[in-house]
Amino acid sequence: MAAPAAGPGTDPRQGAPGVTTPPKRRGTELLMLGFAVLITLAAQTIVDITVTGSPSPEIATFGAWFTGLWLVAHLVVRKVAPYADPLLLPCVAVLTGLGLSMIHRLDIAANALGESVSAREDAPTQLLWATVGMVLFVAVLLVVRDHRALSRLAYTIGLVGLVLLAIPAVLPSALSEVNGAKIWIRVAGFSIQPGEFAKICLVIFFAAYLVDKRDVLALASRRVLGLEVPRARDLGPVLVAWGVSILVLVFERDLGSSLLLFGIFVVMLYVATERASWLLIGVLLFAAGGTVAYQLFGHVRVRVDTWLDPFAYYPDGGGYQVVQSLFGLGTGGLFGAGLGGGRPDQVPVAKSDFIAAALGEELGLFGLVAIVVLYLVLVERGLRTSLVVRDGFGKLLAAGLAFGVAWQVFVVLGGVTGLLPLTGLTTPFVAYGGSSLVANFGLVALLVRISDAARRPAAPPAPPAPKLGEALTEVVKP
């Protein structure tokens, strides 16, 4: 893909006399990354001292590795996306670091009790996945020099996304099923959740598709009861997205991905067309699909029933996880039991699906809210990028990716706290799970790339005017 003349990496206005370039803020990013690493190392040390009485010798190796990871990320961003948002990486670093610390803490708990079947350490594995994720991050930034190039490949990327989504449904259960959800590819000891990558591919496709079609979807409408209602034939795309979500639900028994994809699509449709009727249509379709799924599928019914009254299914039955999680959050109270001071291992699968409950127990409401606010900052930076960037595809892509993170956090935390039925989604960046972590690093790379384009000073027009040096044009967001 040939980069346009004024591609990233070359700043035509740099060094021009009398021109103020907007600040790049890479120093801020480095400082915040340092802070993030400090918090992670503090968490690890506190866990070790609280549980075993002395810091473990591995902390030096871990610290060096973790620091190296973010240093590499920072240097690459400095090189190829110098105007990128300074807060995206630090937020991700803190969340990843907290996740690693909590997984390490749960490792210790499992090994101390001898409950662990294989007595394996999951934290080093997760660190390895973070490294793989960082490789993807760097690769995305190096390969995608201009996010608009992606819109030209959108249909291919969309197809790849659909294939990734469909693979587990087609594979035999032995290769694809874990705990009742057929969302895995298990090859040679590795488990990959292709849906995590499919999510990003589909967001790219949605963005490109909606930029193309939004005029039709937004303008051809009738006014009914004060609401702009689209024509019946324009309902096609939303019905297809809905159908795919239902298929995922039926064949992969994966409530989470189904909800995630449909939610992202409806919101992107809304962002693209500014028509609130799409949200209403989405909610109605969701209600219809949810009701039918509840009637037809046992696994959905179990989830909803345990959500409505978890204590009725405790201690035997589907309510065990949620109730243990609620007990944990309750024990944690406002300030938590302190890192290493609680019993978060009492919740089944605390490392992946229920890591938010573990964090809530040990850091308390104050700690959990801090984590939610970190997600909020991440999402805010994404949405801000979407506002500032000047091309429609970039706007929709950034909005879709940022909303995807927000929606996922909402659904996961809702499940853990009993607000929503359990869905089996993972907390982005924090939860144990290679695919989720790697895919989300790729997602952040895309956001970094778009935010670089958004904050970069406007490039002058192609035929250089004689007064180029005194260029003053800059875009100020509304």
Partner 1 sequence: MTAEIVLQVFRFGFLLLLWLFVFAAFRVVRADLLGGRTGRVSSVPPRAQAGKKRGGRGPKNLLVTAGPLSGTKITLGEQAILIGRADDSTLVLTDDFASSRHARLTNRGGQWYVEDLGSTNGTYLDQQRVQGPLLVAPGQPIRIGQTVLELRS
- 186 CB contacts (<8 Å, ≥6 apart)? 175, 176, 178, 192
- DSSP for 37-73 reads HHHHHHHHHHHHHHHHSS--THHHHHHHHHHHHHHHH
| Residues 47-66 as x/- pattern, contact with partner 1 by CB under 8 A | --xx--x-------------
Q: Does residue 90 touch partner 1 according to CB under 8 A?
A: yes
Nearest approach in angstroms of CB 18 to partner 1 is 6
Given candidates 30, 77, 87, 444, which one binds partner 1 under the rule CB under 8 A?
A: 87
Site for partner 1 in 187-226 (CB under 8 A): 211, 214-215
Q: Does residue 266 touch partner 1 according to CB under 8 A?
A: no
Looking up tokens 């803490």 gives 105
Nearest approach in angstroms of CB 43 to partner 1 is 7
- 288 CB contacts (<8 Å, ≥6 apart)? none
Q: Are 203 and 404 in contact (CB under 8 A)?
A: yes
Q: Does residue 23 touch partner 1 according to CB under 8 A?
A: yes
In terms of C-beta density within 10 A (0-12 exposed, 13-18 middle, 19 or more buried), how is residue 286 classed? Answer: middle
Site for partner 1 in 124-143 (CB under 8 A): none
Q: Is cis: bond before 315, omega within 30 of 0?
A: yes
Given candidates 82, 124, 237, 341, which one binds partner 1 under the rule CB under 8 A?
A: 341
Q: What are residue 230's phi and psi, to 5 degrees?
A: -70, 160
Site for partner 1 in 392-421 (CB under 8 A): 392-393
Q: Does residue 17 touch partner 1 according to CB under 8 A?
A: no
Encoding tokens for residue 461? 């027009």
Encoding tokens for residue 350? 């605390």
Query: 3-state secondary structure string, 162-225?
Result: HHHHHHHHHCCHHHHCECCECCCEEECCEEECHHHHHHHHHHHHHHHHHHHHHHHHHHCEEEEC
Output 392 or 414, the one with its CB closest to partner 1. Answer: 392
Given candidates 15, 18, 114, 226, which one binds partner 1 under the rule CB under 8 A?
A: 18
Element holding 360 (H helix, E strand): helix 355-388
- Torsion angle defined by CA atoms of residues 412, 351, 424 and 300, in that order, rounded to the nearest 10 degrees: -110
Which of the stretches 156-164, 237-245, 281-289, 362-370 binds partner 1 when contact is defined by CB under 8 A? 362-370
Q: Does residue 329 touch partner 1 according to CB under 8 A?
A: no
Output 38 or 175, the one with its CB closest to partner 1. Answer: 38
Q: Of 445, 442, 466, 371, nearest to 409 (Cα)?
A: 371
Nearest approach in angstroms of CB 337 to partner 1 is 8
Given candidates 20, 111, 156, 173, which one binds partner 1 under the rule CB under 8 A?
A: 20
Q: Does residue 360 touch partner 1 according to CB under 8 A?
A: no
Instruction: Enumerate binding residues for partner 1 (CB under 8 A).
Output: 4-6, 18-20, 22-23, 25, 28, 32, 35-36, 38-39, 42-43, 46, 49-50, 53, 86-87, 90-91, 94, 148, 211, 214-215, 335-339, 341, 363-364, 366-367, 370-371, 373-374, 377, 380-381, 390-393, 458-462, 465, 467-468, 470-478
